[in-house]
Structure 1
Amino acid sequence: MERNNDSKMVKGLMERLNDGEHVIIAEGFVFYFERMGYLQAGSWVPEVVLNHPDKVKSLYREFVDAGSDVVLAFTYYATREKTRLIGKEDTLEQLNKNALKMAREVADEKGVLMAGNICNTNIYQPGKKDREDEIKGMFKEMIEWSVEAGADFILAETYAHLGEALLAVEAIKEHGKGLPAVVTFAPFVTATKNGKAITADKVLLTEACKQVKEAGADVVGLNCGRGPNTMLPLMKDIMKVCPGPFAAIPVPYRTCDKEPTFFMLTDPVTGKKVFPTETEVCSCSREDFSDFGKQCKDLGIQFVGVCCGNRHYYTRSLAEALGRKPASTTFSPDMTKHYVYGSDAKVRKDVSEESMDLYHTLRDI
């Protein structure tokens, strides 16, 4: 058991996974706030944490009500490199601490876990010692802030390079005060080695997960880049050679063999590339994530979620597929009460029949 919350003990991450439970995590906050008009596509720095903290706290609550077992602190791209890019490095510490503080408050309020977050830095270069030292410094301060804020575990995510993922594991083990480490690769690379997926530093993805696990990661897997259809086949390969528990956190887009990542998706009408601001035209359905949840359950993937492009209904569909009834299930669709299609006895049949006639008339015009 982890943390006392109003006299209730919140079950820890590894205890849940060791007991065979699923842990759902809602991600994708940068896309969420970009679409709301509070975050800039391109730099993707989460300035909304400082500018509109009430909206961030509301988002945390929204996803827990939709079924997330974790409040993930919104520190994705809240790195020294990213804030330097927009000339606001002096806001870095406050941005991280505010995001973590609000995440801890909502997690305690809702009786769920809170995770600190470190991610890809975009400056990693294999063999560059000075870059590695710089990255280690960025990871160190963010992990220490997470520990200080009372995080229950650290999520290290979206690594294209094995080398950077190993730096993340090393930093968590050194500075994380024993917190569990969930480490996920972003399967952005579409090139292969002998037909198998590789990382950006040309290591088999299966081998990369195995090495990260051996380095001390508690949970390994994939996040971002690919939708359910093109992520799950990679997960199956990883699970053949690497010990679990496993994580799968796809983006909510209908990627396919021809366009396996959301960077490659094209508008089915215009043929134009849709990343990053037109991706909605390739969105998954709620049923897609219900199916994803069922497949993860069958495969034994326990740590599951939704990445860039997430909305509450995706997380809710995933939760319901795993047998949950989160708070927002109260408002899941119930077409039995629809004025045209409804079968509920309280639906006025005369109105329903007349409405159906009107529907068919309009459809045929």
Structure 2
Amino acid sequence: MKRSLEQRLQEGTVIAGEGYLFELERRGYLQAGSFVPEVALDNPEALKQTYRDYMNAGSDVVLAFTYNAHREKMRIIGKEELLEPLNRNAIRLAREIAREHPTEEALVAGNISNTNLFDPEDEQSKERVRNIFAEMVTWCKEEGVDFINGETFYYHEEAQIALEEIRKQELPAVITLGLMGENILRDGYTVEESCRILSEEGALVVGMNCFRGPDTMQPYLEAIRENVEGYVGGLPIPYRTTNEHPTFFNLPDGGCSCHLPLETTFPTALDPLYHNRYELAAWAKEAKNVGINYIGLCCGASPAMLRAVAEAAGVEAINSTYSPDMAKHFLFGKDETLKEHNLNYRLKA
């Protein structure tokens, strides 16, 4: 029997693989800038393989790739007529892959996110945002998702609207916030205050995702954990953000020897700024130790990174069989059958 999200949280850590946006751009199936997941219609096999790779790397969740697949984004690229087919197909593909899990069918999550329309001073904008969420959540309900992930909200009130629309459909909600460089949500709430309210209003999991790497997200996750009685989630980006540059939007790359076509390294020149998988694994252990229940990575994460996070949190992934083992490496191995002249050469290589 397939356990629910709540059942899995009661029994231990849940691993949530995200990062499809950057991963599919790297693989050549998504345009940086607009970042609209047309791949669900244009290249469904590529999306299925990406879902599969993250699930096999340890994710308990196949998150339907509908981030930015809302009416406003589709309007901007002139393809509003594809809105519903894109949303439904992304969910159907996620359900197909979730059933492939060899031991227990993975959870399927619907996805809604920041709209970039919300204006706390404009009631009409709030109504437009509500309508956007309402139609997407309705499609999620009709397509049979297990829960809905509402993410990357930098306004508390927009997150509240998302939660209200999810609860109208009687679906469990994971609500995570994206904290910009001001270190406070744009309508004045601290992340811990916002998460406490959202949890009390019925979100199953609250927390943070995206924008920040482990170093600049972890202190806020700990504050959320101290202020929230329910489950807490943390899904940082895998980049080396700092107190001076707490988000990946303005990370400098002092080592770049070429002229960047954009003003910043975001989003297409962040490659030299990655954490390695061992640093991400160390963060995952720290997060679990302070009581973070729903652990994953966001934009920029690769399946190998997610696998390291899952294993650090005590989860054996389907593809853990391919985790690094240098025992038989010709220079650095310890297998007794390796050639001694190679092993002696390793310090000179």
Per the normalisation by structure 1, the TM-score is 0.90
Aligned partner of 2:150 in structure 1 is: 156
Measured after TM superposition, the shift of residue 357 of structure 1 is 4.7
Task: Specify the alignment match of 1:255 in structure 2.
Answer: 241
Q: Distance in 1 between matches of 2:234 and 2:165?
A: 22
In 1: Cα distance, 2:286 partner to 2:346 partner: 37
Q: Counterpart of 1:321? A: 312
Select between 64-73 and 105-114 the one with higher mean Cα deviation: 105-114
- Residues 1:183 and 2:170 are matched in the alignment: no
- The match for 1:6 is none
Q: CA RMSD in A?
A: 1.4
Residue 339 of structure 1 corresponds to 330
Work out which of the residue numbers 207, 212, 225 in structure 1 matches 2:211.
Answer: 225
Residue among 95, 98, 113 paired with 1:107: 98
Query: 1:334-364, CA deviations, whole angstroms, 9 ceiling, x for partnerless residues?
Result: 11100111111232xxx3x322455444x5x
| Partner residue in 2 for 1:49 | 40
Which one scores higher on RCO, CA 8 angstroms, separation ≥ 6? Answer: 2
Task: Tell me how far 1:270 sits from its aligned partner.
Answer: 3.5
Q: 1:275 aligns with which of 266, 272, 286?
A: 266
Tell me the equivalent position of 1:30. Answer: 21
The counterpart of 1:212, out of the listed 190, 198, 209, is: 198
Counterpart for residue 166 of structure 1: 160
Could you say which residue in structure 2 is the equivalent of 1:4? none
Do residues 10 (structure 1) and 41 (structure 2) align? Answer: no
2:342 paired with 1:355: yes
Residue in structure 1 matched with residue 117 of structure 2 by the alignment? 123
Q: Give the secondary structure class of the aligned counterpart of 2:175.
A: strand
- Tell me how far apart the structure 1 counterparts of residues 347 and 231 of structure 2 sit (CA, whole Å): 51
Q: Report how many aligned residue pairs link the two structures.
A: 341
The match for 1:80 among 58, 68, 71 is 71
Q: Give 1:155 deviation, angstroms.
A: 0.3
Which amino acid counterpart does residue 37 of structure 2 have in structure 1?
P
The equivalent residue for 1:5 is none
Q: Name the CA distance, whole Å, in 2 between partners of 1:72 and 1:157.
A: 12
Aligned with 1:137 (options 123, 131, 134): 131
Deviation, structure 1 residue 248: 0.2
Q: Rg bigger for which structure?
A: 1
- Tell me: CA distance 1:10–1:264, structure 2 relative to 1, closer, same or farther (3 Å): same
- Secondary structure of 2:100 counterpart: helix
- The DSSP-based 3-state class of the residue aligned with 1:109 is coil
Q: Distance in 2 between matches of 1:102 and 1:50?
A: 10
39-48 or 319-328, which deviates more = 319-328
Aligned to 1:3: none
Counterpart-to-counterpart distance in 2, 1:153 and 1:45: 22
Superposed CA offset, 1:134-185 (max 9, x none): 11111111111111111000000000001100110111111x2x21100000
In 2, the alpha carbon distance for the partners of 1:25 and 1:205 equals 20
TM-score of the superposed pair, with normalisation by structure 2: 0.94
Could you tell me which runs of 5 or more consecutive residues in structure 2 were left unpaired when the two chains were aligned. none
Q: Gapped runs of 5+ residues in structure 1? A: 1-8, 192-196
Letter paired with 2:144: G
Deviation of 1:244 after TM superposition, in Å, equals 2.2
Quote the Cα distance in structure 1 between the aligned partners of 2:18 and 2:347: 41
